[in-house]
Amino acid sequence: MSLRRLIVNKTMAALAVIFTVFSSANAFAQEAAAAATAKPVDMGPIHKTAAFYVLLFLLLCLFIAIVGKALKVYELTRETQGKSEGINWNTVNAVLFALFLIVGLYGVYWEYTVHGSMILPEAASEHGVRIDEMFNLTLIITTIVFILTHIVLFVFAYIYRSSDKRKAYYYPHNNTIEKIWTIVPALVLTLLVLKGFLTWRSIFYKAEDANNRPINIEVTSSQFLWDIRYPGPDAIVGKRNYKLTTAINGLGIDFNDKNSLDDLIADEIVLPVGKPVRFTLASKDVIHSFYMPHFRVQLNTVPGMVSYFEFTPTVTTEEMRTKTNDPKFNYILLCAKICGTNHFNMQKNVRIVSDAEYKEWLAAQTPYLTNDLRKAFNLPIPVEATPAATEEAQAADTTATAAAVKLDVKNQIALKK
C-alpha cells in the first residue's frame, strides 16, 4: 500500500482517531501521576463537589460519542468500498444481553450471600416468627419467578437475535398461555394476601386472657425523643390530656385521675421475658414510628390519636448475646419515620430480662408525680422528711442565702462604680 493510499484509507483514519483519544487520555493520566508524586494534592474537597461528577459524566459521554463516530466512519468506509458490514450489531447486542444475564445473576447471588448475611437475627417475639415466615415465603416465590423469567427473557433475546438466515414467526395470540399467566399469579397472590391478612389479624386482634394480662406501657414520641411511662402497682397508666401540658407536666398527665399518681418515668424499656406487653403509642408533634426491629414491631405514633401494639418477647438480651455471638448486643427502639433533622438519633435501649430482674428494676424507677406537680394539682404533699434531710436542706438554705448576700454586695459595688 502506497503512503498516499494509507493516509486516504478511512479505516486507518478511524483507528487514528481512537489511537489519539487513548494516547491523549494516557498522556493526561501520566501527567497527573507525575504531578501526584511531585506534590501530594488533597482531592477530598473536589471529590465532594457535584460539578466534579457532572464534568466526569460529560467527559464519559464525549468519549463514547468519539468512539461511536470513529466506528461509524469505519463502517461507512467499508460500505463505500463495497465490503460487507464490518460489525454485526445484532450479534453484539445478543452477546451483551447474555453478558447482562450472567453479571445480573451473579449480582443476585452476591446480594443474597453478602447482604443476606447482614439480616436481623431470628425474631425475638411470638408474632415475629409468623412475620418472618411471611417474608421468607414471599422472598422464595419472588426469587424463583425473578430468576426463571429473567433467564427466559435474556436467553431468548440471545438465541433469537435478528439473522438473515431465518424469518420471524408471526405468533399474535394464544388463549392457553394467557389463561396460565393470569390464573397462576392470581392464585399465588391471593394465597399470599390471605396469609398476610390472617397474620395481621392474629397480631392485632387478641382475645384477652384474664390470667395473663399484658403489662401496659405508654410511649410518647416527640422531636427527637421517646418518653416512657410505666404504671405503678395498680398496673394502669393514668389518663392524660394535652390541655394540661405545662413546663413541669410535659406529657399533660392528668393527676386528678388516681391511676396517674403512681406512674413511673423510665429511661429505657425493660420487659420481662415471656409476658405479654401492650404499648400505648402517642405523639406530641409530628408522626413518628415506633420501631423495634428485633421483635418485628413497627407502628406509627400519630399526634391526636393513640395506637396500640401488643406482643410477647421470647428471648432475653443475655440469650440473644449468646445466639448472635456478640457480647455487646442490645435490643433497640428506633424511629422509622423521617421526622426531622435529628430523626437518626431517636433511639432507646430495650432490655429483656427475667421476671425477678424486671420487678427489681421497676421498683427503682422514679415516679412522675413531683412535689411541684402535687402543688399544681392541689394534691397533699407527703411528709416524709427525716431529721437528717431537714438539716441538709437547712444547710443548703444557709449557703444559698450567704451566696445571695455576697452577690448583692457585689452588685451594689458595681452600681456605685
Binding positions for Cu ion, rule: CB under 5 A: 288, 335, 339, 343, 346
Beginning with the edge strand found earlier in the chain, give each strand of the sheet holding 331-335 in spatial order: 269-272, 347-353, 331-335, 288-292, 297-301
Nearer to Cu ion (CB atom), residue 286 or residue 362 = 286
Nearer to Cu ion (CB atom), residue 219 or residue 346 = 346
Beta partners for residue 297, in sequence order:
292
Angle, to 10 degrees, between the axis of helix 10-38 and the axis of helix 50-80? 160
Nearer to Cu ion (CB atom), residue 335 or residue 369 = 335
Do residues 216 and 236 touch, judged by C-beta distance below 8 A? yes
Minimal distance in Å, beta carbon 332 to Cu ion? 14
Neighbours of 215 (CB within 10 A): 18
Nearer to Cu ion (CB atom), residue 228 or residue 352 = 228
Grid coordinates given for 26:
494516557
Any residues with CB less than 8 A from the CB of 314 and at least 6 apart, and which? Answer: 124, 125, 126, 273, 274
Minimal distance in Å, beta carbon 297 to Cu ion? 15
Nearer to Cu ion (CB atom), residue 255 or residue 291 = 291
273: closest CA among 287, 242, 257, 294?
Answer: 294
Minimal distance in Å, beta carbon 148 to Cu ion? 41
Nearer to Cu ion (CB atom), residue 224 or residue 377 = 224
Neighbours of 53 (CB within 10 A): 11
Q: Are strands 347-353 and 331-335 parallel, antiparallel or unpaired?
A: antiparallel
Minimal distance in Å, beta carbon 348 to Cu ion? 12
Nearer to Cu ion (CB atom), residue 181 or residue 344 = 344
Q: Which amino acid is at 363?
A: A
Q: What is the dihedral of CA 75, 76, 80, 82, to 10 degrees?
A: 20
Q: How far apart are CA 276 and CA 256, in angstroms?
A: 29
- The DSSP code for 169 is -
Minimal distance in Å, beta carbon 291 to Cu ion? 9
Minimal distance in Å, beta carbon 305 to Cu ion? 16
Minimal distance in Å, beta carbon 301 to Cu ion? 8
